Homo-oligomer: A and B are copies of this chain.
């Protein structure tokens, strides 16, 4: 038993879709969330910079004596792979490996699609992770650069014509390859899950990396007897490096629930101080 919080971080607020899954699957756990909103987007930075930021984010999260660290950010997860060292034995996971494993388990046809930011797709990280597990599988990727701005600007209703057109354009090459599993490789995409699913059809299983990361953490904490014994619902605590008002304002859409709790400001100076 361990009542310490689980730490989750992301370049912004997209990682709140993962927090929603943690709240659902691990309802009695406390969550400490850090969104590095002052330095987003990570996706366009060099790998060196991404790793430096990730290290600083982890150092900040660890100050809260967390029992598990989760990189909800697809870009960070793709950059660090499975090999992030947290230095003192705090378990760590990105969203990449749990999602890759879930996709390998779910496919029948052996053909898996991946969508993500251009940086995630260019990195080929999902393909490498999947082929490391099952070298016989075929992986087809496509970057969807408009999805993040569409979600962030509220073009998310199932019948939104603009997002439906963008989805058709991005997903056609993947649907044409007859995949039966599609990894939504960016924190924002579960928000438009209906639109993606409507285009791909009922026979395609959608994988949400945030959900798979939550399942992975649940399994590890169960196995190591580190689940909380709290009987009431756990609490979420939020930190952001840019405007806390903006964070709270935008959080609801990503959490899929009323935003409760306080957002605290973290200065860049605090993040970068050695």
Contact = CB atoms under 8 A, between A and B. Distances in A.
A150 interface: yes
Contact of A149 (B44, B145, B242): B145
Nearest to A143: B153
Interface string A138-160: 00000001101110110100000
B153 A162 contact: no
A165 interface: yes
Find the residue from A145, A153, A162 having the highest chain B CB count within 10 A.
A162
Given A44-B242, A242-B44, A161 B153 contact: no
Interface string A150-183: 1011010000011001100100000000000000
Contacts of A44: 242
A39 B40 CA distance: 10
A44 B242 CA distance: 9
Tier of interface size on chain A? 10 to 19
A165 B160 CA distance: 10
Contacts of A166: 162
A169 B162 CA distance: 10
Contacts of A242: 44
Nearest to A160: B165
Nearest to A152: B145
A63 to B, nearest CB: 25
Contacts of A150: 146
Contacts of A152: 145
A148 to B, nearest CB: 8
Contacts of A149: 145-146, 148-149
A251 to B, nearest CB: 16
A248 B162 CA distance: 30
Contacts of A161: 165
Nearest to A38: B45
A9 to B, nearest CB: 19
A161 B166 CA distance: 10
Contacts of A165: 161-162, 165
5 contacts: A44-B242, A145-B152, A146-B146, A148-B149, A162-B162
Closest 3 CB pairs of A and B: A149-B149, A145-B153, A162-B165
Given A148-B149, A162-B165, A165-B165, 10 more contacts: A145-B149, A145-B153, A146-B146, A146-B150, A146-B153, A149-B149, A161-B165, A162-B162, A162-B166, A162-B169
